[in-house]
Structure 1
Amino acid sequence: MTRKLGLGHFTFLDLSPTELVRLARQSGFDFVGLRFHPVAPGGLHYLPATQDVSELRRVMEGEGVALYDIETVVIDRTLDPRSLIPAMDAAAELGGRRVNTCADLFDGLPDRFAQVCALAQERGLGVDLECMAWRGIDSPQACLELIDQSGASNAAYLVDALHHLRCGGTPQGIAAMPEGRVVSAQLCDAPAKRPSTTDDLIAEARGGRLLPGEGGLPLREIVAALPAETIVSVELPSADDPRPPAERARAIHSATTALLEGQPT
């Protein structure tokens, strides 16, 4: 059975939610993730006003494209979990299922993460936590430990193929994770060699990702290690791909579908 496939907003962050939904439908994706929360204060995001949620829902229903998750919450010492309520409310009203997070290290982090998870759970949402090489929670094991420390029953490890590998993870490590700890995955490719500096790691993650088959990451092994029920999306921001969004989105869908179906990419 072919997995359903989602399109993460970070892949086309200059498009509005409505534009992304329409692009997703035109290029064959089944659902989207949406940037409802800024990565940093003042950063680009598309949290809809209350009156706009109904219009976005109408467009999604008309296009037959669902909302899976919202991004991206950086859990740091300055984050007030209550500031996430509008984004979580909008996600819940639109039928969303997960909230994407990453975290820095600070005193009280497990409690702060638990508060985020509790607010999400009140709205029927789960929380996915990913590692990033330049943040305090910088390995798959650190993510699993934070989830355990928080006691949150609705939290899981987000397998972002690039971050997982750049943070020292392996496909075998995914397969060995406890049951229920992997709910969502995000796919892309990249050169096999890890960038040597933090600045280069950030640049790669935010604009240097490649279509499956264009790089050297062990994507087939990662897909094989995922639990059968894992929800798979594509997160593939690229600063160097000059193709129009529709052409690029179709190419992304084709390459990723070939990967998931075990065909040559």
Structure 2
Amino acid sequence: MTQNALPPFSLSQLTALDHNPPQLVGLAARTGYSHAGIRLLPAAPGGIAYPLMDDDALLAETLAVMADTGVRIFDLEMIRLDAGFDPARYGRFFEVGQRLGAQCILVAGDDGERARLIDAYGRLCEAARPYGLCCDLEFMPWTAVVGIGDAIEVVSAVRADNAGVLIDALHLDRSGGSATDIARVQREWLHYAQICDGPAERPTTPEGLIHAARCERLLPGEGAIDLDGIWRALPRELPVGVEVPNDIRAPQLGAEGWARAALEAARAIVSRAPTGKN
């Protein structure tokens, strides 16, 4: 990657959650993204997801649109680690991810028993490794992996070569972290980061945090999150997931208008960053 080149940008599923995988890939292609991330399993019970593991026709359509457009799949959402986690349940998930050429799985930690969570995460990494998939643990302030320090503790305990820490700018800010905390994350644990913005005023309840994260994100540069500081601290070549759901503004602009605006705003932030973390 040359000094002035920008990293790959991936259209995250949450930015256009109503688009199924082939539709999302097509949207990414039309609006300038090189990659897309797709949600195969719901973020919450009953939530929207597109289980390609159970729909061969939709999987074939997704692969066909990828071939036609050149857009690749970057990450798969999402596997949640709860008290009863069993990696054997996810064999078909891994197989589909491999067929799609995905690189990473987004992982959430729900088990409040830290030793059991670490064990589950280690077993997930081991199960996903043969499929070429990294397991990126995303800290979120309403989960058992609240902040960046919790994610570092879990990943460092496992010591798997496909383990990682996913830094979402919103969650870093809302969990009380800052750009300076990124120096604590080993370079090999960073596979991608997610960009968006948010207002200076932070929600004070779990319900408020969840709603803001899923429904009210701002375009990069519109809010008060220190995105310039975060991207100065991250590797310049690190792929960027553009995750900017907004239930009011996205419909006003339309899916293409919102996805294009989100990409333009993300590129503006990343282009200002120097080489960054090595």
Q: TM-score range by the shorter chain?
A: over 0.9
Supply the distance in 2 between the matched residues of 1:27 and 1:70 (Cα, whole angstroms): 20
Please tell me whether residue 97 in structure 1 is matched to residue 111 in structure 2: no
How far off its partner does 1:262 sit?
Answer: 2.1
* Alignment-mate amino acid for residue 11 of structure 1: T
Supply the distance in 2 between the matched residues of 1:192 and 1:182 (Cα, whole angstroms): 26
Q: Percent identity?
A: 35
Would you say the 8 A contact 2:25–2:62 is kept in 1? no
Supply the distance in 2 between the matched residues of 1:146 and 1:22 (Cα, whole angstroms): 36
Would you say the 8 A contact 1:208–1:239 is kept in 2? yes
* Alignment-mate amino acid for residue 192 of structure 2: S
How far off its partner does 1:130 sit?
Answer: 0.9
Report the counterpart of residue 269 of structure 2 in structure 1. Answer: 259
Supply the distance in 1 between the matched residues of 2:240 and 2:272 (Cα, whole angstroms): 15
How far off its partner does 1:99 sit?
Answer: 0.2
2:259 to 238, 249, 253: 249
Please tell me whether residue 39 in structure 1 is matched to residue 49 in structure 2: no
Mapping 1:143-182, distance limit 5 Å: 143-182=151-190
Mapping 1:106-117, distance limit 5 Å: 106=113, 108-117=116-125
| Alignment RMSD (CA, Å) | 1.5
Mapping 1:1-265, distance limit 5 Å: 1-48=5-52, 49-104=55-110, 105-106=112-113, 108-241=116-249, 242-262=252-272
Would you say the 8 A contact 1:37–1:87 is kept in 2? no
- Per-residue displacement from partner, 1:112-131 (whole Å, max 9, x unpaired)? 11111111102111010111
Moved more, 154-163 or 104-113: 104-113
* Alignment-mate amino acid for residue 177 of structure 1: V
Supply the distance in 2 between the matched residues of 1:213 and 1:130 (Cα, whole angstroms): 22
How far off its partner does 1:56 sit?
Answer: 1.4
Which has the larger helix fraction?
2
Supply the distance in 1 between the matched residues of 2:90 and 2:42 (Cα, whole angstroms): 10
Supply the distance in 1 between the matched residues of 2:9 and 2:161 (Cα, whole angstroms): 25
How far off its partner does 1:194 sit?
Answer: 1.7
- Per-residue displacement from partner, 1:9-28 (whole Å, max 9, x unpaired)? 01111111111111111110
Supply the distance in 1 between the matched residues of 2:62 and 2:200 (Cα, whole angstroms): 39
Secondary structure in structure 1 of the residue aligned to 2:214: helix
How far off its partner does 1:174 sit?
Answer: 0.8
The number of equivalent residue pairs is 263
How far off its partner does 1:51 sit?
Answer: 4.6
Supply the distance in 1 between the matched residues of 2:157 and 2:268 (Cα, whole angstroms): 38
How far off its partner does 1:198 sit?
Answer: 1.7
Would you say the 8 A contact 1:183–1:229 is kept in 2? no
Structure 2 unaligned spans of 5+: 274-278
Supply the distance in 2 between the matched residues of 1:55 and 1:206 (Cα, whole angstroms): 27
Relative to structure 1, is the Cα distance of residues 110 and 174 closer, same or farther in structure 2, using a 3 angstrom cutoff?
same
